[in-house]
Amino acid sequence: MRYLPLTDQDRQDMLAAIGAPNIEALYQDVAADVLLDQPVDLPGFKGELEVDQLISNLAAKNLGSGAAPFFLGAGNYSHHIPAAADHLIQRSEFLTSYTPYQPEVSQGTLQALFEFQTQVAMITGMEVANASLYDGATAAAEAAMMSCRVTRRNKVILSGGLHPHYAEVTATNAKFLSLDVVTNPANPESTEDLAAQIDDETACVIVQNPGFFGQVRDHATLAEACHDKGALLVVVVTEIVSLGAVLSPGEMGADIVAAEGQSLGNALNFGGPHVGLFAVREKYLRQMPGRLAGETEDVEGKRGWVLTLSTREQHIRREKATSNICTNSGLCALAFSIHLTLLGEAGFTRLAQLNHATAIALADKLDAISGVEVINETFFNEFTLRLSKPATAVVEALAARGILAGVPASRLYPDNAELENLLLVAATETVTPTDMDQLVGALEEVL
Amino acid sequence: MSTASGNRALQLEEKLIFEQNSPGMTAVDLPNPAELTNVESRLGDVARTNPIGLPGLSEPQVVRHYLRLSQKNFAIDGGLYPLGSCTMKHNPRLNEKMARLPGLADIHPLQPKATVQGAYELIDMTAHWLKVLTGMPAVAMSPAAGAHGELCGLMSIRAALEARGDGRQRVLVPESAHGTNPASAHMCGYKVEAIPATEQGRVDLQALKDKLSDEVAAIMVTNPNTCGLFENEIIEMTQAVHDVGGLVYCDGANFNAIVGRVRPGDLGIDAMHLNLHKTFSTPHGGGGPGAGPVVLSDALAAYAPLPYVVHGEDGFDLIEHAAEAGDNQPYGRMKGFHGQFGVMVRALAYMLSMGSDGLRQASSDAVLNANYLMAKLGDILTPSYDGPCMHEVLFDDRFLNDTDVTTLDFAKAMIDEGFHPMTMYFPLVVHGALLMEPTETEGKATLDEFVGVIRTLAEKAQTGNAEDFKQAPIYTPRRRLDETMAARNPVLTYKPDQAAAAE
């Protein structure tokens, strides 16, 4: 058993040192009738090669984005990850260290988190950001709960352009806290009037930009409407690359930004692990969930970093904490940060422009097909098609031809006949002209 | 002695990325075909016009930056990391290789179900192992970490109670519990009440019984507990809770002590999270990502969150919406998409490698190693409780009485000796706690070396060298850092103006 260094002789010697006759003696506090006398009914020990073959066989049953023209998004995007980013996060010192509770031997992680926080604050246009949450959906739920703490109100209004998973996670978290969650219906045309719904009980309005169906909007007017009524504006971003081209939530007047950072540094991973980004106005800092790295000095006056403001957190405050979160997405945050450092201002802006241009080229080609209409006036790298047939059947027919064409809206809104023909299509920098031609050709055949 | 550069041989000073900015530089070369970029924007009136301020670096600079940062971290790959309750065991590299396979890393959660059957099968296989190991009939796979699993389990409990019209409001939590337990109960809308511990470091069964009533929704018990002890009256505890109609949540952070030896399902547990990043060897990554699947008893199996994998007519299927759940009554979704799939891949690679026999041996070795530390250190440190421990051993600071050396000072001195400190000041039920968890992936020679160093330090502390301890650590990239200053004047982002003004 390659992961276990003790020899049988070691075990005997150690039991002798302890003064125990056998290992069972160390389990003496377990009632005899529940102490198992043999291994449970599962397969036995395997060598590395066997495990590799077994899991590789499972992987081979899936059609990956690397093996097909690929156009799925809906909150999880396929981007090129620079080789250096994935290499660096596998440095043992990053990969196999714990949460940096001992700052003198964790300055690497702490400095990287401080840089991450700064990058997140910069691109979202906010003043402070935390050291990550689990994902965008849980970040949105935390934003809702935080808004209720800040405003001492109980009502949360969710835009119909919010990712349905984000809305569902927020509703789940609110369920047993007596929070009133108002979920607006799916809104592909982006026509809802949220300002009219804000009242004296409203803690926050949560909108997404670009919206779930792809539209980009300026939410500055909504921010003003929120602030006039003493409510907060939470802006969700599920495609963080968009912030290289689109006005930031901070510039629109957002109070909290809850975002998904997967697009930078992190693979699709079948939906997880991802990295939740959470940024706020400084005045709300002490109601913020999650860890924070902060600058300080050591006893010699040298600059260094520590985890700080932990009096907000569960290990100090227990049931009075701002959240129960402990382990977050440290390594995914590092991958995000390294990718963004590699890009820099020029690369990040360029990557966003390239995504936008690729999506425009694809949208124009698809819109020209009979039976296909692009419903968006605006979009970044993802838009919604109205097909002449139900989208699910079309996507399955295209998958049978080796093309992963997009996400049918009905996958997320199963009982909404009006959305049945809608298909979300994303085009990142990984999409080639050949991919586009294959999609166009196959779609013409299938429709 | 100082150097001209501030560097000390292999320890290199490293500025922030923002202080290494070459404006316009990028380490990612992207194509620039004119036909793609000479198009009219579809961003409407929300195109960004202001610069962001991100620094520009070349690839060699970036690689060097993060390599230098990495060298300022202690890691389990480098040495013993006996953080009690955190289970810093070896992280096999096979796990990393498997998680990056094409067909696993590059699949999208909303692909047509026929194109990801292998992924559903992998989730189902991982779930099967977890159910058999715990002796529980169901498992919720989507929680992202231990605390998220606690919330998931409590929500299952609350959903099940409310389904029978039962609006109980109280959750009992031992005072030795992880801080996440009461925080999770609060997030589930419950009122938290503490249960005291006995002098033997266990839940006070009588005190528990005194607090039980038809107002108690659940107890949250950690077993093995945070003192590193098996709750020897666990069956009586779960029985008593069930007798008043309550349910039992178990914090499974310490399951690694009993894998293959005790099944929580045999103890009367109704819900328990499993930290895949502790018990099942997936890396901690400096603070995540983890995964916290929650095994559920028959009483709770119908009240799991969405989504979950089932065996369908045409292979595996994924239940994503309440309307598809049939007789089940899922309370909703806890996380975007399907959970921490990449972490599940790693945990499965570990479980398949170890096998049923290997997992049982691992927990036995973990317990053996902790008891060996207690045997070898028990005469000079002060073990908090008599009798064998489980996978971790708890000492308190009585051995430092009258020395002017604190637990913190002692821990910082360990750093200079090349060891990561144990968990300090937790659990709260003993004074100046030192909680050591060696794990099964340490050999006897490493433990003997560690014992030698700890004995030397303890003797040194007891013979009047307090000032040396107060100075420690001295060989680290930074010496003791001022946490009060950090909290009093929070500097949480780099601000170029302030840096310039300070110069």
pLDDT tens readout for residues B278-301:
999 999 999 999 999 999 999 999
pLDDT in tens, B463-474: 999 999 999 999
Domain, as residue range, for B425: 357-486
Question: Of B350, B372, B398, which marks where a domain is finished?
Answer: B350
* Same domain (yes/no): B226, B346: yes
CB B422 within 8 A of CB B82: yes
Q: Find the mean pLDDT for residues B53-81.
A: 98
Q: Quick check: is B502 in a domain? A: no
Q: Find the mean pLDDT for residues B209-237.
A: 97
Q: Quick check: is B497 in a domain? A: no
What whole-number distance in Å separates Cα of residue B22 and Cα of residue B74?
31
- CB-CB under 8 Å, A308 with B487: yes
Q: Find the mean pLDDT for residues B226-247.
A: 98
* Same domain (yes/no): B175, B285: yes
- CB-CB under 8 Å, B289 with A330: yes
Nearest residue of chain B to residue A135 (CA atoms)? B336
- CB-CB under 8 Å, B342 with A39: no
Q: What's the pLDDT at B501?
A: 47
* Same domain (yes/no): B332, B369: no
Q: Is A18 an 8 Å CB contact of chain B?
A: yes
Q: Which residues of A touch B28 (CB under 8 A)?
A: 82, 342-343, 347, 351
- CB-CB under 8 Å, B118 with A60: yes
Q: Quick check: is B44 in a domain? A: no
Three-state DSSP class for residue A71: coil
What whole-number distance in Å separates Cα of residue B381 and Cα of residue B396?
8
CATH number at residue B101: 3.40.640.10
What whole-number distance in Å separates Cα of residue A440 and Cα of residue B283?
43
Interface probe for A, chosen from B481, B489, B495 (most Cβ of A below 10 Å), is B481
Domains of chain A: 67-81+344-446 (3.90.1150.10), 83-339 (3.40.640.10)
Q: Which residues of B touch A404 (CB under 8 A)?
A: 108, 111-112, 115
B503 band by pLDDT with thresholds 50, 70 and 90:
very low
Q: Which residues of A touch B51 (CB under 8 A)?
A: 345
Nearest CB partner across the interface for A338, out of B16, B35, B62:
B62
* Same domain (yes/no): B264, B201: yes
pLDDT of B502 strictly over 60? no
Question: Of B289, B320, B350, which marks where a domain is finished?
Answer: B350
Question: Of B331, B350, B369, which marks where a domain is finished?
Answer: B350
Q: Quick check: is B99 in a domain? A: yes
* Same domain (yes/no): B339, B441: no
Q: Which residues of B touch A267 (CB under 8 A)?
A: 100, 105-106, 342
Which runs of E-coded beta strand occur in A54-168? Answer: 128-129, 155-158
* Same domain (yes/no): B268, B415: no
Q: What's the pLDDT at A317?
A: 87
User: Total structural domains in chain B?
Assistant: 2
What single DSSP character describes residue B114?
G
- CB-CB under 8 Å, B27 with A175: no
- Residue-by-residue pLDDT tens, chain A, 447 positions: 999 999 999 999 999 999 999 999 999 999 999 999 999 999 999 999 999 999 999 999 999 999 999 999 999 999 999 999 999 999 999 999 999 999 999 999 999 999 999 999 999 999 999 999 999 999 999 999 999 999 999 999 999 999 999 999 999 999 999 999 999 999 898 889 999 999 999 999 999 999 999 999 999 999 999 999 999 999 999 999 999 999 999 999 999 999 999 999 999 999 999 999 999 999 999 999 999 999 999 999 999 999 999 988 888 888 888 899 998 999 999 999 999 999 999 999 999 999 999 999 999 999 999 999 999 999 999 999 999 999 999 999 999 999 999 999 999 999 899 999 999 999 999 999 999 999 999 999 999
Q: Quick check: is B25 in a domain? A: no
Q: Is A21 an 8 Å CB contact of chain B?
A: no
What whole-number distance in Å separates Cα of residue A429 and Cα of residue A436?
12
What whole-number distance in Å separates Cα of residue A240 and Cα of residue A262?
8
* Same domain (yes/no): B178, B325: yes
Q: Quick check: is B344 in a domain? A: yes
Q: Is A152 an 8 Å CB contact of chain B?
A: no
* Same domain (yes/no): B380, B269: no
- Average pLDDT taken over every residue of chain B: 96
With b for 16 or more beta-carbon neighbours within 10 A and e for fewer, the A270-290 pattern comes to bbbbbbbbbbbbeebbebbbb
Interface probe for A, chosen from B11, B12, B48 (most Cβ of A below 10 Å), is B48
What whole-number distance in Å separates Cα of residue A98 and Cα of residue B283?
9
* Same domain (yes/no): B219, B191: yes
* Same domain (yes/no): B368, B320: no
B327 band by pLDDT with thresholds 50, 70 and 90:
very high
Interface probe for B, chosen from A7, A101, A105 (most Cβ of B below 10 Å), is A105
Q: Find the mean pLDDT for residues B347-366.
A: 98
What whole-number distance in Å separates Cα of residue A384 and Cα of residue A281?
33
Q: Quick check: is B69 in a domain? A: no
**Cis amide linkage into residue A273, ω under 30° from 0:** yes
* Same domain (yes/no): B289, B236: yes
Q: Which residues of A touch B333 (CB under 8 A)?
A: 137, 165, 168-169, 172
DSSP string covering B160-171: HHHHTT----EE
Token pair 């002796």 is found at B135
* Same domain (yes/no): B322, B424: no
Q: Which residues of B touch A327 (CB under 8 A)?
A: 145-147, 275, 277, 284, 287-290
Residues 6+ apart with CB under 8 A from B60: none
Which is more confidently placed, B496 or B329?
A: B329
ipTM of the prediction greater than 0.90, yes or no: yes
Q: What's the pLDDT at B35?
A: 64
Q: Which residues of B touch A254 (CB under 8 A)?
A: none
Q: Find the mean pLDDT for residues B426-444.
A: 96
What whole-number distance in Å separates Cα of residue A129 and Cα of residue A280?
6
Cα of first residue to Cα of last residue in chain B, in angstroms, is: 24
What whole-number distance in Å separates Cα of residue B443 and Cα of residue B90?
12
> Could you tell me the two tokens for B7?
């560097």
Q: How far is CA B211 from CA B10, B158, B218, B241, B259, in A?
A: 58, 19, 11, 10, 31
Q: Quick check: is B60 in a domain? A: no
CATH number at residue B459: 3.90.1150.10
pLDDT of B498 strictly over 70? no
